[in-house]
Amino acid sequence: MNINSYIDLYQVLEDNPTTIEDNRAFGLKHKSLRGKPQKQLLAWADKYKSKLQKPLISLSFSSYLYGITITLVILAFIFGLFSGMGLLSYDGKEPVNIIYFIAMVVFLPIFTMTLTALSMFRINQTKSILMHISPAFWMEKILGWLPSSIKDDIKEFKINPLLTNWIIIKRSQLVALSFSFGLFVALLGVVVTQDIAFAWSTTIDITPETFHQFLYFISAPWRYLFPSFVPSIELIEHSQYFRLGDRLSPNIISHASSLGEWWRFLAFATLFYAIVLRLLVLVVSHLGLRYAVSTSILKLIGTNRLLREINQPIINTNSTQQEALFVPTHDGYEQTIEKFKEYDYDMIQGLGMRYDELLVISDSIGLSSPKHAIVGGSNSLDEDDKVIDDSSGDILLFVKAWEPPMMDFVDYLADLSINDNVKKVIIMPIGTLEDDYKTTDTYIDIWANKLSLSEDGKVWLKR
Partner 1 sequence: MILSHPRFAVVGHPNKGKSSIVSALAMDDSVQVSNTPGTTTKRRSFPLSVDGKILYELYDTPGFQRARRVLAWLQKHEVRADKKHEVVRAFIAEHKSDVRFNDEIELLEPIMDGAGIIYVVDGSKPYGAEYEAEMEILRWTGQPSMALINHIDSSDYSQEWKMALGQYFKMVRTFNPMRATFVHHIGILESMSQLKEEWIDDVKESIILFEQYQTQMIERSASLLARLLYDSISMVDKLSIDKDEASKEDKEKIEGKYKDKLRGFEIDTQKRMKSIWKHQHLAIEQDILPFNGLDLFSKESASVFGLTRKELMLMGMTSGAMTGATIDLLFIGHTFFIGGAIGAVVGATGGYFGFDELSDIKILGQNLGKKYLEIGPMKNKNFPYILLGRALYHTSQIANRSHASRDKIDIDRHLDLESVFRDKWLTDDLKNSLEKYHKKFRTSDEVEAEILKEYDLMIKDILRGLINDR
Q: Which stretch binds partner 1 (CB under 8 A): 191-199, 254-262, 269-277, 316-324?
A: 316-324
Q: Is 53 in the site for partner 1 (CB under 8 A)?
A: no
Q: Is 225 in the site for partner 1 (CB under 8 A)?
A: no
CB 399 within 8 A of CB 358: no
Q: Is 330 in the site for partner 1 (CB under 8 A)?
A: no
Q: Which stretch binds partner 1 (CB under 8 A): 64-72, 99-107, 147-155, 281-289?
A: 99-107
Question: Shortest gap between Cβ of 203 and partner 1 (angstroms)?
Answer: 9
Q: Which stretch binds partner 1 (CB under 8 A): 185-193, 227-235, 323-331, 416-424?
A: 323-331
Figure out which of the listed residues 87, 139, 162, 413 binds partner 1, where binding follows CB under 8 A: 162
Question: Which of 251/304 has CB closer to partner 1?
Answer: 304
Q: Is 17 in the site for partner 1 (CB under 8 A)?
A: no
Q: Is 74 in the site for partner 1 (CB under 8 A)?
A: no
Question: What HEC string does 365-429 produce?
Answer: HCCCCCCEEEECCCCCHHHHHHHHHHCCEEEEEEEECCCCCCHHHHHHHHHHHHCCCEEEEEEEE
Site for partner 1 in 244-273 (CB under 8 A): none
Site for partner 1 in 404-423 (CB under 8 A): 404-408, 411
Figure out which of the listed residues 29, 51, 155, 299 binds partner 1, where binding follows CB under 8 A: 299
Site for partner 1 in 375-404 (CB under 8 A): 376-381, 400, 402-404
Question: How far from 440 is each of 207, 233, 362, 460, CA to CA, in Å?
Answer: 114, 116, 19, 18
Query: Of 242, 233, 199, whose CA–CA distance to 214 is shortest?
Result: 233
Give the SS3 label for residue 460: strand
Question: Shortest gap between Cβ of 406 and partner 1 (angstroms)?
Answer: 5
Count Cβ atoms within 10 A of the Cβ of residue 302 and give its class: 0-12 exposed, 13-18 middle, 19 or more buried: middle
Q: Is 242 in the site for partner 1 (CB under 8 A)?
A: no
Query: Of 201, 127, 196, 206, whose CA–CA distance to 165 is shortest?
Result: 127
Question: Which of 57/297 has CB closer to partner 1?
Answer: 297
Q: Is 332 in the site for partner 1 (CB under 8 A)?
A: no
Instruction: Give the Cα separation of 447 and 170 in Å (integer).
Output: 81
Site for partner 1 in 359-378 (CB under 8 A): 376-378
Q: Is 293 in the site for partner 1 (CB under 8 A)?
A: no
Instruction: Give the Cα separation of 236 and 112 in Å (integer).
Output: 28
Instruction: Give the Cα separation of 102 and 108 in Å (integer).
Output: 9
Site for partner 1 in 117-156 (CB under 8 A): 124-127, 129-130, 132-133, 138, 140-141
Question: How far from 79 is each of 83, 116, 246, 381, 423, CA to CA, in Å?
Answer: 6, 21, 31, 109, 116
Instruction: Give the Cα separation of 298 and 37 in Å (integer).
Output: 8
Q: Is 329 in the site for partner 1 (CB under 8 A)?
A: no
Question: Which of 193/321 has CB closer to partner 1?
Answer: 321
CB 461 within 8 A of CB 333: yes
Q: Is 79 in the site for partner 1 (CB under 8 A)?
A: no
Q: Is 222 in the site for partner 1 (CB under 8 A)?
A: no
Question: Shortest gap between Cβ of 284 and partner 1 (angstroms)?
Answer: 20
